[in-house]
Amino acid sequence: MPSYASQLINLCAALMLLTSFAMISQRRIRSLVNLYALQGLALTVSIAIVAAASGQHHLYFSAALSGVLKVLALPWILHRLIARLDVRWDPEPLINIPTTMLVGIVLVVFAFGLAQPVAQLATTIARGTLGIALAVVLLAFLMMITRTKAISQVIGFLAMENGLFFAATSATYGMPMVVELGVALDLLVGMVVLGVFFFQIREQFDSLDLLHMEKLKEED
């Protein structure tokens, strides 16, 4: 069971990494949300496999929470926001797509090098995927700093949280339940607040491009 479980966890980790690369190269907002939901599904399945293989029953709750929040609730909220705001495309990022992909590859190599000493000390069945978890975090951060649309940056932040959640599962069989519930509540409240924030930006600037806010700051 552990060997098959390890292979399935590695497959889920590879899928998360592939979706991260797809997200930094994707400019269609709806596709970004769908990729985020797919990444959340891979995270949910991997947590459930770790729970079954390790006997850590609290991870079943973590998997259920991840599925409801990251596969269903947040993508649904984001799709409704996109429909209400009528946002379809992200303009050309600050760094062009080929350069962003090259930077992403460098970040993946850096993440594996950084995670290797920590992974050797971990005793979990998913310790081999810690490098991928850190790579997902770094790629999400890259997406946040290269995009100009506010909603794309929010999706990057949510993808970064996926990577952190996966890293916690890989290294220590997850976070304490109270922490996971707190993070879930914070994400839901944060999405509501950000939804209001998006509408305020749209009302003031008739666009969700944050470059308009930077120009206003330069004028002041």
Tens digits of per-residue pLDDT, 32-70? 999 999 999 999 999 888 888 877 787 888 888 888 888
Q: Is the predicted pLDDT of residue 133 greater than 60, yes or no?
A: yes
CB of 132 closer than 8 Å to CB of 17: yes
Q: Which tops the pLDDT comparison, 177 or 61?
A: 61
Tens digits of per-residue pLDDT, 145-174? 888 777 788 888 888 888 888 887 877 766
Helix (H) or strand (E) holding 181: helix 177-205
Question: Quick one: pLDDT at residue 209?
Answer: 55
**pTM confidence score:** 0.81
Question: Quick one: pLDDT at residue 194?
Answer: 60
Question: Quick one: pLDDT at residue 178?
Answer: 47
Question: Quick one: pLDDT at residue 150?
Answer: 73
Q: Which amino acid is at 217?
A: K
Contacts of 212 (CB under 8 A, 6+ apart): 205
DSSP per-residue letters across 19-86: HHHHHHH--BHHHHHHHHHHHHHHHHHHHHHHHHHH--THHHHHHHHHIIIIIIIHHHHHHHHHHHHT
Q: Is the predicted pLDDT of residue 1 greater than 80, yes or no?
A: no
Question: Quick one: pLDDT at residue 123?
Answer: 65
Read off the pLDDT band of 89 (50, 70, 90): confident
Q: Which tops the pLDDT comparison, 139 or 206?
A: 139
